[in-house]
Amino acid sequence: MTWQLFQLLVTAAGLTVFISAVSIMIALVLGTIVSVVTLSPKPAFALAGRTYISFFRGVPLLVQLLLIYNLLPVMGIDLPGIVAAIIGLSLCTAAFQAENLRGAFASLPRGLVEAAEMAGFSAAQILRRVRVPIAFRLALPALANEAIFTLRASSLVSVVGVVELTRTAQDLASSTFLPLQLFAAAGLLYLLLSWTIAALGHVMERRMRWGRV
């Protein structure tokens, strides 16, 4: 295994980072919306949220990616591979993040919300200033966990024509006949990236600790 091969893997890891990071961000926003909608007192909203979660959590990511990439063009919506990859990853991850947040919303201390009501906060203010920030703190370990899952799941997006880290290792393995070294190096890069996400999660946990405002 040469330095040049390793550099090719690092370059490909850049694409993996880009796709994963964008998808993790979109999924956090979308997941928050979905979980708030699911907890809505209006049955139609709650049903819509639950349907979203059960679909995107229930259909394997690989199948979702193939559907987005191969079915939408038939309807005339032609998405480049990388867009299809990001959409697939974020829609799927958002369903899991929504569930993580739903758990956190459910375990919010009732007293906090009541106190905010007493202080004259509107429902929207309570959501934005009290429920969402605290739910995020409670769910942080689970959110970071799911973000690592997204990173690893990004190894599937080569099925929509995105040549990311895993696919690059496969391609190079087939022309250099060094599968062991290349896959070991790719594994190491994934490990470094997931450590980075875990470390970011810890930093955020420390900064958002209870009692610190």
159 binds another protein per the rule CB under 8 A: yes
Long-range CB contacts (within 8 A, 24+) of 147-150? 147/20, 147/24, 147/93, 147/197, 147/201, 148/194, 148/197, 148/198, 149/93, 149/96, 150/20, 150/23, 150/24, 150/27, 150/89, 150/93
Distance between CA atoms of 5 and 11, rounded to whole angstroms? 10
140 binds another protein per the rule CB under 8 A: no
- Report the amino acid identity of residue 31: G
Distance between CA atoms of 6 and 146, rounded to whole angstroms? 28
81 binds another protein per the rule CB under 8 A: yes
To the nearest whole angstrom, how small is the minimum distance from the Cβ of residue 8 to another protein?
4
To the nearest whole angstrom, how small is the minimum distance from the Cβ of residue 21 to another protein?
22
To the nearest whole angstrom, how small is the minimum distance from the Cβ of residue 22 to another protein?
21
Measured from the CB atom, the residue of 4 and 211 that comes closer to another protein is 4
Residue 73, both tokens: 């063009």
Measured from the CB atom, the residue of 44 and 213 that comes closer to another protein is 44
122: helix, strand or coil: coil
To the nearest whole angstrom, how small is the minimum distance from the Cβ of residue 61 to another protein?
15
Contact 91, 64 (CB under 8 A): yes
To the nearest whole angstrom, how small is the minimum distance from the Cβ of residue 153 to another protein?
16
Enter the DSSP assignment of 154. Answer: G
Residue selected from 17, 26, 66, 83 as contacting another protein according to rule CB under 8 A: 66
Long-range CB contacts (within 8 A, 24+) of 121-129? 127/36
149 binds another protein per the rule CB under 8 A: no
Give the per-residue contact string, 33-62, with another protein (x = CB under 8 A; - = no): -----------x------------------
Residue 140, both tokens: 């942080």
117 binds another protein per the rule CB under 8 A: no
Q: Count the site residues for another protein by CB under 8 A.
A: 33
Positions touching another protein (CB under 8 A) are 2, 4-5, 8, 11, 44, 66, 69-71, 73-78, 81, 158-161, 163, 167-168, 170-177, 179
